[in-house]
Structure 1
Amino acid sequence: MPAVSEETLVQVLSGSLYPGAAHNSVVMVLAYCKAAQLDPMLKPVHIVPIFQKGRGMVDTVMPGIGLYRIQAARTGQYAGISEPEYGPPITATLGGVEVTYPEWCRVTVKRQMSNGLVAEYTANERWLENYATSSKDTAAPNAMWKKRSYAQLAKCAEAQALRKAFPEVGSAPTADEMEGKVFDEGPREVHVQRQPEPAAEQLPPYPNDKFTESLPTWRGMVEAGRSSPEHLIAKVSSKYSLTAEQITAINQLKPIEGETA
């Protein structure tokens, strides 16, 4: 089979794996794959538009999570990966957009060492530290991070775990981690407006007539040593709200110093 020219290969990739990509960006993909001895037809890398100060949006070639998986498997020591574990869901408003996301995600990658033992490498990534914004001037998440908040964070955690378990795969962030990010922007300020916590259930007041009726019984319990004012207050307060006067009256049930409780 005759060798395919680079120009023909660029046309094939532009029309199939990288539709709509600029010609020079696809050329960068070929150069990347050639330098790393990768098959470009397996799409091991992605073209990710990244905002750079002074340059605007710039197409950048980055490895995909699939490449890390392939490279780990080719070592012959890849021993599996755990299911993603997620932290509690948080609903917050970011840049005027309400989004529900997991606070964190944890993934563990296993590697069988030369001595036969299996080592575990765990990565724990937080959503707020990883999500991509819809533009450089807002804290609102982009469409993918809003729609797939769990799956996107799981990819970031998996990529980090793979890098820890198999450092030979490289240290470059994956396209899944960097899509929509900004280079050289410094720390990003994120103002999180969480949804207000539901108001605590209001307990009904303890009826005065019932209180007056119960007081002698409570006095007898305290004097017999079967209860204490503190215990009575805690017990009643679990079902009713007590006034300051009622609490004072219960506290006065304490035995007078010198008396036998």
Structure 2
Amino acid sequence: MKQAEQMPAMSESALVEVLSSSLYPGAAHNSVVMVLAYCQAAHLDPMLKPVHIVPIWNKDAKKMQDTVMPGIGLYRIQAARTGQYAGISDPEYGPPITAKLAGVDVTYPEWCRVTVKRQMSNGLVAEFTANERWLENYATASKDSAAPNAMWKRRAFAQLAKCAEAQALRKAFPEVGSAPTADEMEGRAFEETVRDVTQSQPAQVEPEALPEYPDELLKENAIKWQPLIDSGRTSPEHLIATINSKYTLSPAQIETITNLKALDGDAA
């Protein structure tokens, strides 16, 4: 047995302590516990810091609320693990604009464009481009000010590039999820989140207009999905949502996919 395998497992409380003192210094204890729970549920290594703690203004509670959000690094890892990630373009920027926001002078790019490439099953490489505007993404210094925070003022170009890359990765690899990244949500409010997500969703086709998902195809794909679920690269919920965008799943088929995550435990 290798030496690494002989090391005793770290207790949850000890791991929270390590995360609090190293990767999330100054974060509230409960927030770090949320990080650990998120990583355990998604089968992620918390020591790689795949997610971030982002304070977001909760209008109903009238206070800032710590929220666990994926980082751009997690999107990159998930895209690479598909084996179909074919590269990404250098960010292209619109003309620089110098303006005064709430008394603060700032120079920022009007927009940023990033293209992600994915090799499809037929061998062709498809390109997915996202174009994001700085004024629609930057984080403010406080909920009552239009001035950018220190990071968005100092790294106006780099921060916007992360937002454009995250959007392009979501377009190219919908299996990475639809949750916004920490860079996109910093300084935002929960009320804005609900509005933005609602407006960005495409019109849905009525389920009756979609063909039924063949049982034979479900049986064939279930064999391929199981290792992806076991490794945390996808989830039954994501598979159901993806299929429902093109087919109509029966209740029995939904139950079959949902139970995939329990196969390992049942077989043990």
TM-score normalised by structure 2 residue count: 0.68
Which of 123, 139, 143 is equivalent to 1:136? 143
Single out whichever of 131-140 and 161-170 deviates more from structure 2: 131-140
Which whole-Å CA distance do the structure 2 matches of 1:69 and 1:6 have between them?
A: 27
- Which residue number corresponds to residue 26 of structure 2? 20
In 2, are the aligned partners of 1:53 and 1:185 still within 8 Å (CA)? no
Which whole-Å CA distance do the structure 2 matches of 1:157 and 1:185 have between them?
A: 19
Relative to total residues, which structure has the larger helix share, 1 or 2?
Answer: 2
Which of 133, 149, 159 is equivalent to 1:152? 159
Q: CA RMSD in A?
A: 1.4
Which whole-Å CA distance do the structure 1 matches of 2:77 and 2:46 have between them?
A: 14
Unpaired runs of 5+ residues, structure 2, are: 1-6, 197-268
Q: Describe the SS at the equivalent of 2:121.
A: coil
Unpaired runs of 5+ residues, structure 1, are: 189-261
| 1:57-136 correspondence runs (5 A) | 57-136=64-143
Q: Describe the SS at the equivalent of 1:184.
A: helix
Over alpha carbons, which structure has the higher Rg?
1
Summarize deviations over 1:158-201 as a string: whole Å, max 9, x none.
0000000000000000001111212215989xxxxxxxxxxxxx
Cα shift at 1:54: 3.3
The aligned length equals 188
Following TM superposition, the consecutive aligned residue runs of length 4 or more in structure 1 with deviations greater than 3 angstroms are 185-188
- Percent identity over the alignment? 85
| 1:32-43 correspondence runs (5 A) | 32-43=38-49
Q: Is residue 161 from structure 1 mapped to residue 157 from structure 2 by the alignment? A: no
| 2:149 aligned partner, one-letter code | N
In 2, are the aligned partners of 1:89 and 1:103 still within 8 Å (CA)? yes
Summarize deviations over 1:127-155 as a string: whole Å, max 9, x none.
01111111111111111111100000000
Summarize deviations over 1:93-142 as a string: whole Å, max 9, x none.
11111111100000000000111100000000000111111111111111
Cα shift at 1:2: 1.6
Which whole-Å CA distance do the structure 2 matches of 1:44 and 1:137 have between them?
A: 30
